[in-house]
Structure 1
Amino acid sequence: MFEVARLAGVSHQTVSRVINHSKDVSESTRLRVQEAIDALGYRPSNSARALASHRSRTIALVAGGTSLFGPVSSITSIEKVARSHGLFMSAMMVDENACTARGFNELCGTFLEQNVDAFIFLTPTDVMFEAACRVQVAQPRVIVTSTHGALRADEALAQGHGPGPVAMAGIDQWGAVQKVARLLVARGHRSALYLAGPPEWRDAATRLASWQAACGMLRIRTAIVHAGSWESRESYALMNHLIDERGMAGRSLPTAIVTANDNQAVGVARSLHEHGYRIPQDVSLVGFDDIPTVDNMYPPLTTVRPRFEDLGTVTMRLVLALLGQGQQVVFPETEHGVGLIPADVVQRRSLGHAVRR
């Protein structure tokens, strides 16, 4: 840095301001310093900066569910915002099915050895969420989760959490499912099958609880089928069994089928097609997540579009606020201590008016 300062004819403090993107440097000086940096091939040492500032400028990210569209979209947005603020991301992807509280704590210990400034936890399952709440770290943490599960978000925090400040954010999945139920009623549907997701996933628990509440309030007759995964092959098999079972009993299908995610809707659509049911003329179909390609299904799938990119952006803004580097985040809705990002219902041709049975 001193060599850069001598070549540019400025103080080393000015070089530091240029490197840290301070506004207190004129444009001409900034250009002169940058030319010296380029000429000397200078690169700032993050380790040295960490020693001087007591900040590593590194954010730890522990994420589950990374095989699915939603978490990947949020992670991309988180990284983009972090980079725009000169921060580094150090990420660990976790197998949410194999994760244990002990393993989670050991992973965070590895990050603590890197002197990270803050933690972001993407916690799709109950095990990951409770571990993220209770891990003993002094750094700020932001937990991305759903409002419901084995424990509600506020209940988990009330049972105790690590010493550092905590903020939580998520998608308003409860409200999104309520919108779907009201839309079905507006189209004349009074009976619907709901295909639930794996129970250990907090997204699945939130969506199911909201669906049950909406059906009670709107007087929708519902049958619920529980899946053990989000996979289309399982929903295909479950739907085949249900159609055969109802056929042998002389019972018709409900006028609508709602699935807990779009992958399940793909399997259901295949089963309906193979059994001669038309969508939406015979049965309407609604999914959740608006993953790529469902707008090109036949017919295009009505689904819920969570604002995953907005969730990632807000998550990083929460981190900056907890670090004292940004303004407080105000959410349009908060439930059980979780700041909520809206989700939109995208209406396509798979949803029609109810047919008479």
Structure 2
Amino acid sequence: MADVARVAGVSHQTVSRVLNGAPHVRPETRERVLAAIRELDYRPNVAARALVTRRSQTLGVVSFGSALHGPASMLDGIEQAARGAGYFVSVASLRSLDTRSVQDAVDRLRDQGVEGVVVIAPQTPAVSAIARLTTAVPVVAVGAGAGSRVPTVSVDNEAGAYAVTRHLLDLGHATVHHISGPPGWLETTTRLAGWRKALEEAGVRAPAPHSGDWSARAGYETGLTLADDPTVTAVFCANDQLALGLLRALHEAGRTIPGDISVVGFDDISEAAYFTPPLTTVRQDFGELGRRALELLVEELTGSDRPGSDLPGAGEAGAEATSAAEHGGRAVRHVLVPTEIVLRRSTGTASR
């Protein structure tokens, strides 16, 4: 900083004010300092600054299943929101979400000086692991559901599954079959619940669901069975990859889509619009998910009610549901981000 001050012809304090974005620096002085910074290729010493301010401007993220669309998109949404708010992100990717693994990951992130931690928790064991965490830094969970003792933000999977099942029933289908995700995943449970709720409200008995593993292969194998059943006219797949496999099995069996069978998915992956036919599905707003997760974490860091109002995009109209539950004598916020049905050509009116 002394070198920058010398080249720019200003005081050390002026350089500090420019670096910290302080007001009351004349535009021409600010530009002279910035020019000196560029000339000298100066970079602030982050470690030294953290010692002085006790702020690392770094957040930790514990991730799992990052090869899958949902968790990977959650991680991307969190990273984008953090970058927009001026935070760095350090990621610990796990193969298992048991209590020991999650605790070790949080401890490693704390050793790096993170100010808070976001845990992407798509599986039931992760919820239990979060409940047993011992850490002095704030923790927010993404996808953990409203039963957690820490603040959470999740996509409203149940409402999305309910809406898309209701859409198929409104097209005249007598019932809707379901290919679910694997056991132990919270998305599996909540999407099953939304599907069942829509059928029950319509007075329709739910067919036995078929369990998959989120893969196109599982959708294909289940599709070989469903294609042989002439009573099947509508299928809700718990993700778009399952739907992709199902579409291939139905094509190979000579079943037309949507003439014989309507198919819907969940996620709205980038390829969904290019399936044959283009897939009707449920879109998740992962950017909003990341922004709200960061907002909750900043609330925990500052101890204020809604400091996230200063985050990029905050204050815009939104339909997300926010609730609070008592945990340990304090209110813990739980946010649900809404979904949206994307109508394409894989659904149509029932032919019988």
Same fold (TM over 0.5): yes
- SS of equivalent residue, structure 1 residue 224: coil
Q: CA deviation at 1:182?
A: 2.0
Amino acid at match of 1:61: V
The answer to whether 1:352 aligns with 2:348 is yes
Q: Superposition pairs for residues 221-240 of structure 1, below 5 Å?
A: 221-240=205-224
Give the structure 1 partner of residue 31 of structure 2.
Answer: 31
- SS of equivalent residue, structure 1 residue 350: coil
Give, in whole Å, the separation in 1 of the partners of 2:128 and 2:24.
44
Q: What are the superposed Cα offsets for residues 242-270 of structure 1, whole Å, 9 maximum, x if unpaired? A: 445x4xxxxx3322111100100011111
The answer to whether 1:189 aligns with 2:189 is no
Q: CA deviation at 1:81?
A: 2.7
Q: CA deviation at 1:305?
A: 0.6
Q: Is the 8 A contact 1:259 1:288 kept in 2?
A: yes
Q: What are the superposed Cα offsets for residues 302-328 of structure 1, whole Å, 9 maximum, x if unpaired? A: 100111122112222322333339335
The one of 238, 242, 254 aligned to 2:232:
254
Q: Is the 8 A contact 2:165 2:195 kept in 1?
A: yes
More off after superposition, 197-206 vs 174-183: 174-183
- Name stretches of at least 5 consecutive residues in structure 1 with no aligned partner: 148-152, 158-165, 247-251
Relative to structure 1, the CA distance from residue 11 to residue 319 in structure 2 (aligned partners, 3 Å threshold; closer, same or farther) is farther
Give the structure 1 partner of residue 329 of structure 2.
Answer: none
Amino acid at match of 2:154: G
Give, in whole Å, the separation in 2 of the partners of 1:179 and 1:45.
51
Give the structure 2 partner of residue 315 of structure 1.
Answer: 293
Give, in whole Å, the separation in 2 of the partners of 1:345 and 1:312.
20
Amino acid at match of 2:348: G
State how many pairs are aligned. 334
Q: Is the 8 A contact 2:94 2:101 kept in 1?
A: no
Q: CA RMSD in A?
A: 2.1
The one of 244, 247, 253 aligned to 1:269:
247
- Name stretches of at least 5 consecutive residues in structure 2 with no aligned partner: 326-332
Q: Is the 8 A contact 1:196 1:224 kept in 2?
A: no
Q: What are the superposed Cα offsets for residues 2-40 of structure 1, whole Å, 9 maximum, x if unpaired? A: 222233233323222222233443322221111222222
Relative to structure 1, the CA distance from residue 141 to residue 26 in structure 2 (aligned partners, 3 Å threshold; closer, same or farther) is farther
Relative to structure 1, the CA distance from residue 146 to residue 282 in structure 2 (aligned partners, 3 Å threshold; closer, same or farther) is farther
- SS of equivalent residue, structure 1 residue 323: helix
Amino acid at match of 1:20: N
Relative to structure 1, the CA distance from residue 283 to residue 146 in structure 2 (aligned partners, 3 Å threshold; closer, same or farther) is farther
- SS of equivalent residue, structure 2 residue 290: helix
Q: Is the 8 A contact 2:175 2:199 kept in 1?
A: no
Q: Superposition pairs for residues 21-60 of structure 1, below 5 Å?
A: 21-60=21-60
Give, in whole Å, the separation in 1 of the partners of 2:301 and 2:78.
16
The one of 320, 324, 327 aligned to 2:308:
327
Q: Superposition pairs for residues 146-225 of structure 1, below 5 Å?
A: 146-147=144-145, 153-154=146-147, 156-157=148-149, 166-225=150-209
The answer to whether 1:80 aligns with 2:64 is no
Give the structure 2 partner of residue 102 of structure 1.
Answer: 100
Q: Is the 8 A contact 1:73 1:308 kept in 2?
A: yes
Give, in whole Å, the separation in 2 of the partners of 1:223 and 1:273.
23
Give, in whole Å, the separation in 1 of the partners of 2:293 and 2:111.
23
Relative to structure 1, the CA distance from residue 99 to residue 279 in structure 2 (aligned partners, 3 Å threshold; closer, same or farther) is same
The answer to whether 1:281 aligns with 2:251 is no
Give the structure 1 partner of residue 129 of structure 2.
Answer: 131
Give, in whole Å, the separation in 1 of the partners of 2:144 and 2:351.
34
Q: CA deviation at 1:59?
A: 0.5
Give the structure-1-normalised TM-score: 0.87
Give, in whole Å, the separation in 1 of the partners of 2:208 and 2:26.
65
The one of 129, 139, 142 aligned to 2:140:
142
Q: CA deviation at 1:339?
A: 0.4
